[in-house]
Amino acid sequence: MKTLLIANRGEIACRIIRSAKALGLATVAVHSDADAKALHVALADRAVPIGPSKPAESYLKIGEILDAARSSGADAVHPGYGFLAENEGFARAVAEAGLTWVGPTPESIEAMGDKARARSLAEAAGVPVLPGSRRFAEGELEGIEAAGDTVGYPLLVKASAGGGGIGMRVVDAPADLRKVADSTQGMAARSFGDGAVFLERYVRNARHVEVQVFGFGDGRAIHLFERECSVQRRFQKIVEESPSPGISAATRARMTTAAVALAAAVRYSGAGTMEFVVDADSEAFFFLEMNTRIQVEHPVTEAVTGLDLVALQLRLAAGEDLSLRQEDIRQQGHAIECRLYAENPAKMFLPQPGTLARLALPEGMAGIRVDTGVRQGDTVTPFYDPMIAKIIAHGPDRAAAVDRMLAALERVEVEGLVANAPFLARVIGHPAFRAGRTTTSFVDTYKAALIG
């Protein structure tokens, strides 16, 4: 493996390029018309255009990306997160083209990428799951009311192929179920090309905790501890931390053991994340889904373990024997990540595209890491996720990490568009956050104080 093509854009493409170069790999960026002058294009050794600005006409075009790999001489492909990262067809096409796929096998992606099937595999592996229903294909809702009664209310209607908080709707009463299921099927079909949905019990006072796993493809797997991702808006994470402030050592041990067991059962290869919902009152935990890719929030795990997850992905794909053992993995200190977005919290967190007339990020501060895919003068376009940067604070304990994050957010300057930095500072500085009392309803509960 000598030349790596990154089939992505923005912050994650820049992040992958950094690790690839440290390993001595040449890098190839792909870009849409909107991204012709983007930072990931500037950082790569070579860049290849792949089409117009809309993702469906560029970053989601498997043929264009494979042509870019051939024309650039790339011999490996890293998908990053989003776009085609969890598309088993893309993974299979990369392998059939004679290229190295940096990720799990197509079979693992297919098995774990479908949420309903992943639930079945989790149950078979002895991992607790929430009460749920069978899949309902697009246009097929016969029997959904009976299924809802069996699952119990409140419940979630979830897109089987969903991700990133898209395709999830809460239903409180049976009378609303069919209408919500029908609209969710339509949304899922448009977003993922698969309109199937299923039902799952909804835990109101819940924490969202996930376990970073790493598998070796032969039935062996390890964990790199957990991340708390409860602070969300629209089911999408905006603040993550490790370790979780809301689970006991005993719960952590049971959860990580369950995550490793499931990864081993599917002979998982590479970095992946098992997501769990945790009842904040009882600490009972239930499997939600597996993300068969690198996560947006992986830097908090890197901060507390000292490991480079992207480098591990690349080394495993290259055939290196990593010889990582569970007893070699240690947690050191506490890390918190905030996602800096071009969005307006006061207007339902709607994206705010525009030009970054001024952008100052807290790079160089002690205990602070900044991952970004933009520079001052760049444009946040309406075509893609409006992330500006990820800010990661690491300290010897949670209180120190909180203080460092607040100091870092104070250094953020964004002009030319609206960003959520003041909102993030209010979240981190809120007494409930400082006390570790975070649930998935945190933003709604304290909305008045957070939005101002």
164 within 8 A of 86, measured Cβ to Cβ: no
Single-letter code of the amino acid located at 432 = A
335 within 8 A of 392, measured Cβ to Cβ: yes
Measured between alpha carbons, how far is residue 88 from residues 104, 194, 217, 219 in Å? 9, 14, 16, 20
Give dist(CA 306, CA 192) in Å, integer: 35
Structure-block tokens of residue 84: 């085609």
Assess whether the previous peptide bond of 154 is cis (omega < 30° from 0). Answer: yes
Catalytic status, residue 293: yes
Single-letter code of the amino acid located at 121 = L
64 within 8 A of 70, measured Cβ to Cβ: no
Catalytic residue among 119, 293, 339, 369: 293
Residue 205 CB coordination number (10 Å): 12
Residue 123 CB coordination number (10 Å): 14
What do you get for the CA distance between the two ends of the chain, in Å? 51
Measured between alpha carbons, how far is residue 398 from residues 157, 242, 334 in Å? 35, 9, 5
Measured between alpha carbons, how far is residue 114 from residues 117, 160, 163, 196, 197 in Å? 5, 5, 10, 10, 10
3-state class (DSSP) for residue 232: strand
Task: Answer left, alpha or beta for residue 443, where phi above 0 means left and psi between -120 and 50 means alpha.
Answer: alpha
Maximum C-alpha span of the chain: 59
216 within 8 A of 285, measured Cβ to Cβ: no
Give dist(CA 255, CA 211) in Å, integer: 8
Report, as residue numbers or ranges, the catalytic residues. 293
